């Protein structure tokens, strides 16, 4: 599907009613896909807004959900890693290490599972309306951003109160949020497309989460494990967690740059392959969903 020869007509209504020729042919959907995606940015916004509204309207406890789960997780992980395993804290109160790790992890978990389930939960849209299907998993990231903003707002006072103080590093936080979005999208695209094709991939997400929380340095700092840093960095979430911790704790944990580099490369690979697979199966979605 492509759009070319844009000739604006003197249409009385709607400024966007430009007349354009569109040719639909088998296997022609490749061209101008991303231009189309840009055209549908408003829909992206509306779908994200819908998900956010629904999430906070439906739940009686509303915002509380975004808090209860992380609080329990922080308590548990502090106990397991800080007390039981006796991991070194490097001069930072142990709960803070876990709080920062959990913030990053929770952000990823919400974004990833949202994007992964997004296609199946929007079946009716896919079988009834055309738009670039990438809009759906991308819109699902919106909820994760809002959740993250809420939990961050609640965690910041604790970090300021107990912590060694924050610094200029905080300004880098948006970059790491972007990294988190890209990781979630890359992994989410794979799961979303695979779930349409094979419904049992739905059950893989919770499993991945359970494993993920332990292979990701959520409950411990990586700079105290020099030998493991490069290996851990193969999990792009390690780069994310380290980065968020570094931003929020004012540089009192070290940012291992080679590790971050590896994480970035893995993220890029994940995202590009995810896009490739998603685009490959996208045109069959309506037929098999």
Partner 1 sequence: MTAPILEVSDLGKRYIIQHEAQHQGTLRDTLHQGARQLWRRLRGRDRFEKEEFWALSDINFAVQPGEVIGIIGRNGAGKSTLLKCLSRITEPTRGQITLRGRVASLLEVGTGFHPELSGRENIYLNGSILGMTRAEIRKKFDEIVAFAEVEKFLDTPVKRYSSGMYVRLAFAVAAHLEPEILIVDEVLAVGDMQFQEKCLGKMQDVSRGQGRTVLFVSHNLGYVRQLCPRAILLDRGKIVADSDTSEVLKVFSSKTVVPPHVQGAPKGPRITDIAVDPELLEHGDIAISIAFESPYVIQKPYTGITILNELGHPVLGTDTSSDPINDLKPSQGGTFRLLLKAPPLASGRYQINAWLGQNGRGEDDHWPSAREFHFPGHRIRPPQFSTELAGSIDIGGHWTLL
Which residue number, 54 or 64, has a Cβ lying nearer to partner 1?
Answer: 54
* One of 4, 21, 165, 261 touching partner 1 (CB under 8 A): 21
CB of 134 to partner 1, least distance (A): 14
| Of 48 and 271, CB closest to partner 1 | 48
> Cβ closer to partner 1: 273 or 284?
284
Closest by Cα among 218, 259, 214 to 96: 218
User: Smaller CB distance to partner 1: residue 37 or 255?
Assistant: 37
Tokens representing residue 288 in the block:
């098999």
Residues 94 and 253: their CA atoms lie apart, in Å, by 12
Q: Which is nearer to partner 1, 19 or 273 (CB)?
A: 19
Of the pair 110, 195, the CB lying nearest partner 1 is at 195
- Report the nearest approach of partner 1 to the CB of residue 75 (Å): 32
**Which residues have a Cβ under 8 Å from the Cβ of 33 and sit 6 or more positions away?**
132, 279
Per CB under 8 A, the segment of 72-80, 181-189, 193-201, 209-217 that binds partner 1 is: 193-201
Q: Please give the C-alpha separations between residue 91 and each of 9, 82, 222, in angstroms, as whole numbers.
A: 68, 12, 14
Q: H-helix or E-strand containing 6?
A: strand 2-7
What gap in Å lies between CA 200 and CA 119, rounded to an integer? 14
Given candidates 22, 60, 171, 257, which one binds partner 1 under the rule CB under 8 A? 22
Kindly state the smallest distance separating residue 12's Cβ from partner 1, in Å. Answer: 10
Looking at beta carbons only, is 187 or 241 nearer to partner 1? 187
Nearer to partner 1, 117 or 169 (CB): 117
- Tell me if 183 sits within 8 A of 240, measured CB to CB: yes
Shortest distance, position 174 Cβ to partner 1, whole Å: 26
Closest distance to partner 1 from the beta carbon of 1 (Å)? 6
Residue 119-148 contact track with partner 1, rule CB under 8 A, x = bound: -----xxxxxxxx-----------------
- Closest separation in Å from C-beta 23 to partner 1: 5
Please select the residue that binds partner 1; options are 6, 8, 10, 13, rule is CB under 8 A. Answer: 13
228, 234, 236, 242: CA torsion to nearest 10: 10
Angle, helices 257-282 vs 236-248, to 10°: value is: 130
What character string, x for contact with partner 1 (CB under 8 A) and - otherwise, covers 25-54?
xxx-x------------xx--xx-xx--xx
Report if residue 257 touches partner 1, rule: CB under 8 A.
no
Which one of 1, 80, 170, 264 is in contact with partner 1 (CB under 8 A)? 1
Torsion sign, CA atoms 63, 172, 249, 114: positive
Element (H, E) at 2: strand 2-7
Cβ atoms 137, 188 nearer than 8 A? yes
Lookup: tokens for 220: 């411990």
Backbone angles phi, psi at 83, to 5 degrees: -90, -60
> What's the angle, vertex CA 10, arms to CA 9 and CA 14, rounded to 5?
90
Binding site for partner 1 (CB under 8 A): 1, 13-27, 29, 42-43, 46-47, 49-50, 53-54, 57-58, 124-131, 198-201, 283-284, 286-287
């Amino acid at each position: 599907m492509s759009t070319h020869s844009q000739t604006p007509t003197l249409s009385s209504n709607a400024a966007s009613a430009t007349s354009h020729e569109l040719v639909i042919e088998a296997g022609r959907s490749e061209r101008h896909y991303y231009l189309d995606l840009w055209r549908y940015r408003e829909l992206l916004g509306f779908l994200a807004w819908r998900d956010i509204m629904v999430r906070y309207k439906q739940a009686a406890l509303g915002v509380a959900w975004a808090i209860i789960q992380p609080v329990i997780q922080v308590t548990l992980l502090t106990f397991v890693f800080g007390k039981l395993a006796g991991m070194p804290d490097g001069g930072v109160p142990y709960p803070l290490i876990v709080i920062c790790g959990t913030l990053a992890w929770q952000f990823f978990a919400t974004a990833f599972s949202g994007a992964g389930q997004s296609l199946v939960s929007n079946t009716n849209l896919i079988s009834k309306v055309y738009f670039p299907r990438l809009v759906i998993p991308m819109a699902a990231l919106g909820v994760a951003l809002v959740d993250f903003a809420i939990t961050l707002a609640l965690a910041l006072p604790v970090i300021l109160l107990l912590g060694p103080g924050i610094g200029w590093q905080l300004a880098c936080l948006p970059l790491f949020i972007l990294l988190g979005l890209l990781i979630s999208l890359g992994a989410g695209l794979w799961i979303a497309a695979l779930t349409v094709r094979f419904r049992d991939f739905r059950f893989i997400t919770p499993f991945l989460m359970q494993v993920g929380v332990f292979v990701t340095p959520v409950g411990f700092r990586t700079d105290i494990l020099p030998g493991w840093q490069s290996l851990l960095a193969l999990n792009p979430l390690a780069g994310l967690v380290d980065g968020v911790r570094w931003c929020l704790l004012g540089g009192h944990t070290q940012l291992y740059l080679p590790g971050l580099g590896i994480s970035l490369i893995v993220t890029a690979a994940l995202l590009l392959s995810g896009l490739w697979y998603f685009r490959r199966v996208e045109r069959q979605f309506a037929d098999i969903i």
